[in-house]
Amino acid sequence: MDGSAASPACPAAGPTGAVRAFSVVRDRVPADIAARVAARFGLNEAGAARSAAAVLLARADRDILRSAFGLDSFLTVELTEREDGTGALDADWLGAPPVEQGFYLSLTTGTAYGLQCAVLVCDELARRGVLAPERRGNIELCLHEAIANAIVHGNLGIPSATKDQPEGYRLFSKLLRERLGDGAVRQRRIDIFARWTADSLSIAVVDQGDGFDAAALPQDTDSGAHSGRGFVFMRALARRIRVTDGGRCTLLQFDL
């Protein structure tokens, strides 16, 4: 990969010529990523490309992700099955501006579903000295709920009311198997963006689903609503919650 620097943590290509587990792109991110970063956040494209380091994963599991996080790069992006490992990403990938105190993780839905993403993110926040043990429990629970919503209701498109129907859990399991068996659905992205200051932490969870009307979310458990109850739970744990991008982005803010 042009501009990449191999790390000792990166296994070399095997005898079949398969790409290594991940490649590190230092000093610049690939031009297509830089262009989307600049367009989405109004940044200078050349400056954005120079000021970030990215880890592009040919595949992702818990050990590979932890090794990638250990490189302290800003962007950690899993390539989809359609991509050839050269660093080119789908046009719908969501970029993020490089910031000194933050990181961005982009996974396919198929991978994210099989991982404890909230645990991985909180482990990394703790490793970087951001998350004290006494604050971790509530933040991890809240993040777990947001990521589960993004995967199940967002990218997999399974309504929360499914379980309220007769034999709802059987129907939910059937839909889950069907959606995870669809290659295009499995490759939709879950993006997690964390940034912090000395006294606050913000985490955005972004999916590529159809979204929802955030104004219809219940404000408390007494509303009798059958959907959106997870947001009531998250409001009790976070300092602030904002839902943007037509319901596809949930921003969680916490005191540290």
Token pair, residue 165, equals: 């129907």
What is the separation of C-alpha 248 from the centre of its chain, rounded to a whole number of angstroms? 12
pLDDT of residue 255: 92
Tens-of-pLDDT digits for all 256 residues of the chain?
Answer: 223 332 323 222 222 333 233 444 444 455 665 665 566 555 555 554 444 566 777 778 888 888 888 877 777 877 766 554 444 443 334 445 556 688 888 888 999 998 999 999 999 999 999 999 999 999 999 999 999 999 999 999 998 777 667 777 788 889 899 999 999 999 888 989 888 988 999 998 989 898 888 776 656 555 555 555 778 888 889 999 988 888 888 999 999 9
User: Any idea what the Cα angle at residue 197 is, between residues 193 and 199, rounded to 5°?
Assistant: 120
Q: What is the DSSP letter of 161?
A: G
Residue 200 host element (H or E)? strand 200-206
The letter for the amino acid at 137 is G
Q: Which domains does the chain have, with CATH numbers?
A: 1-98 (no CATH), 130-256 (3.30.565)
14-24 in b/e form (b: 16+ CB < 10 A) is eeeeebbbbbb
Instruction: Tell me whether strands 75-78 and 102-108 are parallel, antiparallel or unpaired.
Output: parallel
pLDDT of residue 185: 93
**Contact between residue 211 and residue 246 where contact means Cβ atoms under 8 Å apart:** yes
pLDDT of residue 132: 94
pLDDT of residue 43: 57
Token pair, residue 139, equals: 């933040």
**Contact between residue 226 and residue 239 where contact means Cβ atoms under 8 Å apart:** no
Please tell me the number of Cα atoms within 13 Å of 73 on its side-chain side: 29
The letter for the amino acid at 134 is E
Residue 106 host element (H or E)? strand 102-108
